[in-house]
């Protein structure tokens, strides 16, 4: 049967890499460094997927404007100090290779910086499988549709052939704003109820389920 989707656009943190807990911990340690109360785990998880500055401004809207650069610096200190140790979710390494070999075109749209994504791609050895990437410091942050639109333009593919796969409401909204289908995963940063209202084509509980769904339904 004809394939429904040609292009699969993956989020990174919380979808391919098991990094949500590390992000939460780095935010809380950065707050401690500045002597400000650290938000709880749930609040921190809700801003995962946004660009870093936007995420911190959303999480801590009452922080004096001049304190955000210092908070960003401390966050990066704590996160980058161990980012090489953060694992992919089970099955991701082989699954991404298998999806590419099955003929899908793969891309990444992430709230990470370009430097951060390149480090993650190098550590994970997944770089050869992705035809395009977009990061929050290259264009508009999620949930703006620019990442999807720019990837589509670069690869000269149609939105009707495109599926976004992500773990946050920001991913689902970005896809909806771009007019493309979306698939939610429940093992990342946001809860299933955060994703369900954005009409994903499916909500799946592991990357193994994602791979099976894509191989048989996409």
Q: Return the bridge partners of 91, or none.
A: none
Listed residues 84, 108, 130: the one ending a domain: 84
Task: Answer yes or no: do 101 and 80 share one domain.
Answer: no
Residues 198, 212: Cα–Cα separation, whole Å: 22
Give me the CATH number covering residue 47.
1.10.150
Listed residues 84, 114, 138: the one ending a domain: 84
Task: Answer yes or no: do 133 and 108 share one domain.
Answer: yes
Q: Is the pLDDT of residue 109 over 60?
A: yes
Average pLDDT over residues 31-35: 96
Residue 28, domain member (yes or no): yes
Task: Answer yes or no: do 92 and 200 share one domain.
Answer: yes
Task: Answer yes or no: do 14 and 43 share one domain.
Answer: no
Average pLDDT over residues 163-189: 97
Residue 1, domain member (yes or no): no
State residue 165 phi and psi, 5-degree precision.
Answer: -120, 120
Low-confidence winner among 28-37, 82-91, 94-103 (lowest mean pLDDT): 82-91
Residue 2, domain member (yes or no): no
**Per-residue pLDDT at 35:** 95
Q: What is the DSSP letter of 187?
A: S
Residue 188, SS3 per DSSP: coil
Q: Is the pLDDT of residue 82 over 90?
A: no
Task: Answer yes or no: do 97 and 59 share one domain.
Answer: no
Q: Which of 13, 83, 171, 181 is catalytic?
A: 13
Task: Answer yes or no: do 51 and 92 share one domain.
Answer: no
Residues 43, 46: Cα–Cα separation, whole Å: 5
Listed residues 84, 113, 132: the one ending a domain: 84
Q: Is the pLDDT of residue 198 over 80?
A: yes
Q: Is 190 exposed, middle or buried (0-12, 13-18, 19+ CB in 10 A)?
A: buried
Task: Answer yes or no: do 114 and 157 share one domain.
Answer: yes
Which residue range(s) make up the domain with 54? 20-84
Task: Answer yes or no: do 67 and 170 share one domain.
Answer: no
CA distances to 10, 94, 203 from 124, in Å: 15, 11, 25
How many domains is the chain partitioned into structurally? 2
Which helix H or strand E contains 110, and what residues bound it?
strand 105-110
11 is catalytic: yes
Q: Where are the alpha helices (DSSP H) in the chain?
A: 20-34, 41-46, 52-59, 68-80, 92-101, 114-124, 146-155, 169-178, 192-196, 207-217
Task: Answer yes or no: do 132 and 185 share one domain.
Answer: yes
Residue 158, domain member (yes or no): yes
Residues 6 or more apart whose CB falls under 8 angstroms from that of 85 comprise none
13 is catalytic: yes
Give me the CATH number covering residue 187.
3.40.50.1000
pLDDT band at 2 (very low <50, low <70, confident <90, very high): low
**Per-residue pLDDT at 160:** 95
pLDDT band at 1 (very low <50, low <70, confident <90, very high): low
Residues 6 or more apart whose CB falls under 8 angstroms from that of 110 comprise 11, 12, 13, 117, 133, 134, 135, 136
Task: Answer yes or no: do 112 and 161 share one domain.
Answer: yes
Task: Answer yes or no: do 43 and 131 share one domain.
Answer: no
Residue 111, domain member (yes or no): yes
């Amino acid at each position: 049967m004809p394939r429904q989707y040609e292009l699969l656009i993956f989020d990174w943190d919380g979808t391919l890499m098991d990094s949500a807990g590390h992000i939460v911990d780095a935010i809380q340690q950065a707050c401690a460094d500045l002597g400000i109360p650290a938000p709880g785990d749930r609040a921190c998880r809700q801003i995962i997927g946004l660009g870093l500055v936007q995420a911190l401004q959303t999480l801590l809207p009452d922080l004096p404007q001049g304190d955000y650069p210092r908070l960003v610096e401390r966050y990066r200190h704590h996160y980058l100090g161990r980012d090489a140790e953060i694992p992919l979710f089970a099955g991701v390494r082989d699954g991404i290779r298998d999806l590419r070999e099955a003929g899908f075109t793969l891309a990444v749209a992430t709230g990470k910086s370009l430097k951060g994504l390149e480090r993650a791609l190098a550590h994970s050895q997944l770089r050869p499988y992705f035809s395009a990437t977009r990061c929050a410091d290259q264009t508009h942050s999620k949930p703006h549709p620019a990442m999807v639109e720019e990837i589509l333009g670069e690869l000269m593919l149609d939105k009707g052939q495109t599926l976004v796969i992500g773990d946050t409401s920001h991913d689902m909204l970005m896809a909806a704003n771009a007019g493309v289908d979306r698939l939610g995963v429940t093992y990342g940063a946001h809860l299933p109820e955060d994703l369900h209202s954005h009409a994903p084509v499916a909500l799946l509980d592991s990357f193994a389920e994602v791979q099976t769904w894509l191989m048989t339904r996409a």
